[in-house]
Structure 1
Amino acid sequence: MFRRHPFLSVVTLLYLAGVAWITLGPQPDFGNKNSLVMQVLRILWEHPATDWVTYAGVEFTANIAMFLPIGLFFLLLFGRRQWWLAVLIPFLMTLGIETAQIWIPGRVSDIRDVISNTIGAIVGVFLGLALTAPRARRDREAARAQARQRVRA
């Protein structure tokens, strides 16, 4: 895996380190009334078309967005045949993160994070499958053509 895709392996490890820093470090105070997130939400709440946006919804969506690249990177590293690893590993990572957050002061463990992170990984896997489908189709057709040539020879 690392020999086949050394650059992607490094990018994946750096991204995972960033996720670990975000999820296992001190809890950012986004709920503070002066935070950028709350300022944006207040602007959204002033307009009837966007007053339905909530802090919980933004957090859930952000967790999906944070784990989407992980699903994509793992799919590209492990390959299409082992797509299930690109879902299972982020799910297990999230369980580990949420378990660790129980003992981190200021952090709150939440089952919604497990759900949103896993959804993000699944979306990343589907994106990866869609992006790699043309190449996989060409490879299958080339293998079939090669097999037919061997049978004829």
Structure 2
Amino acid sequence: MFLRHPILSLATIAYLALVGWLTLTPRSGAVDDSILWPLARFFARFDATDWLTFSRLEFAANIALFVPLGLFFVLLLGRRQWWLAIFLGVVATVAIELAQRGIAGRVSDPRDLVANSIGAILGTLLALLLTAAGARRARARAALSGA
């Protein structure tokens, strides 16, 4: 798998390192050290967007963070292993939440498990959608060649 797709493998490893850095490094004691706080304060200034609270922005950010995980895993493992991409995404988020229990300034939150898993599932579905046309062409070529 890694030898067949070395660039994709390196991109996946770099992405996993970024996720690790974002989720597993200690945080300061400051409540508002997240980049999402200024965004939440900005949205709170307008009646039309005051529903975009920090909690909702954080949930959406966690979903967005894990979409590439599902996408990368499907591309590396192949379309037939889509279920494994979802499984690995859920396992990764459970591992992160368990690890956060022992990291200063980090809080393990069940909502993160839900958001991250949703992100991995959406990434998997996106990968399946993006690769569907190529898979159809490959099946058609195989049928024409008699395989």
Q: TM-score, normalised by structure 1?
A: 0.89
Deviation readout 1:32-62 (Å, 9 max, x if unpaired): 2x86532332221121110111111111111
Could you say which residue in structure 2 is the equivalent of 1:2? 2
- 1:39-86: per-residue Cα shift (whole Å, max 9, x none)? 332221121110111111111111111110010000000000000111
Quick one: percent identity of the two aligned structures? Answer: 50
* Structure 1: tracts of 5 or more residues without a match: none
Query: Which structure is higher in RCO with an 8 Å CA cutoff and minimum separation 6?
Result: 2
When the two chains are superposed, the root-mean-square deviation of aligned CA atoms in Å is 1.7
- How many residue pairs get aligned? The number is 147
CA distance 1:128–1:4, shift in 2 (3 Å): same
- Does the 8 Å contact 2:2/2:9 carry over to 1? yes
**Whole-angstrom distance in 1 between the partners of 2:46 and 2:29:** 25
Query: In 2 relative to 1, CA 72–28 (structure 1 residues): closer, same or farther, beyond 3 Å?
Result: farther
Q: Give, in whole Å, the separation in 1 of the partners of 2:108 and 2:85.
A: 23
- In structure 2, the gaps of 5 or more residues are none
Amino acid at match of 1:14: A
Residues 64 and 120, structure 1, Cα contact 8 Å, conserved in 2: yes
Deviations 1:74-118 (A, max 9, x none): 000000000011110111111111111111121111111111111
In 2, distance between residues paired with 1:49 and 1:131?
A: 34
Q: Normalization by structure 2: what TM-score?
A: 0.93
Q: Bigger CA drift: 19-28 or 73-82? A: 19-28
Read off the aligned partner of 1:67 and give its amino acid letter. Answer: F
State the partner residue of 2:25: 25
Structure 1 residue 24 displacement after superposition:
0.7
Q: Tell me which structure has the larger Cα radius of gyration.
A: 1
